Amino acid sequence: MRVLVILSLILAVAPLNGRAASDGVPAATVTAAGSMMMGDGPTIPPFPKTGRSTELPGKSSERYETRHFMYLVPGESPAIELYLAANRSGDPPDGVFEIGLVRGFVAGLASKAGRQFGEPVFVAHRVGPMPVYRTLVRLSNAGRNLWVHAYVYPRRPSLTFIAIRANNGASESKEEYLKALEIR
């Protein structure tokens, strides 16, 4: 777990300052109350632990642009990560790119942390009124487990939430948090 905290702190290099939108990824600003506002899109409520949102470099290709945010809690691993993805071609949102993003995240994390993992299996689910794809992936190493919880909201722009926990029974609390999203 210490490795995850150190990696997360090293990666946290760019504070969230409302970077301008480009090619469909909305500008994001953090309100005084700690909510994240995505232009005319969703409002992400503050995470229920004291911390701050930080933006990391996103990746771009000819077809997609992403933005990556972490909510950091002092002395802990990131509470939750958020990826926004915009499809530059204007294709209808289907979640395929985002599911691949989660698979890459899991494989990269397992490799860096020296853990074994099974292939993420996504199931259609609802969080409040919103359709999502979710997965729970176990990363193991010598009897110690980490659990990666991921939720993909296929929309424009898409939202992908990822949280890493030391136990697998924390899905309910994440889903309660996600129900508070104001998605238009």
Average pLDDT over residues 107-128: 93
What is the tens place of the pLDDT at every residue in 60-87?
888 898 889 888 888 887 788 999 898 8
- Alpha helices, H only, the chain: 2-11, 96-113, 171-179
Cis amide prior to 78 (ω within 30 degrees)? no
What is the tens place of the pLDDT at every residue in 30-44?
777 777 777 777 788
Looking at per-residue pLDDT, the higher value among 61 and 94 belongs to: 94
The bridge status of strand 52-56 relative to strand 158-165 is unpaired
44: alpha, beta or left? (left if phi > 0; alpha if psi -120 to 50): beta
Identify the band that residue 170 occupies on the pLDDT scale cut at 50, 70 and 90: low
Instruction: Give me 45's structure tokens.
Output: 């409520």
Looking at per-residue pLDDT, the higher value among 117 and 27 belongs to: 117
**Euclidean distance between CA atoms 82 and 102, whole angstroms:** 11
Instruction: Give me 179's structure tokens.
Output: 């129900």
Mean pLDDT over the full length of the chain: 80
Domains and CATH numbers, the chain: 2-179 (3.40.1000)
Quick one: which of 59, 55, 76 has its CA closest to 7? Answer: 76
Q: What percent of the chain has pLDDT over 90?
A: 32
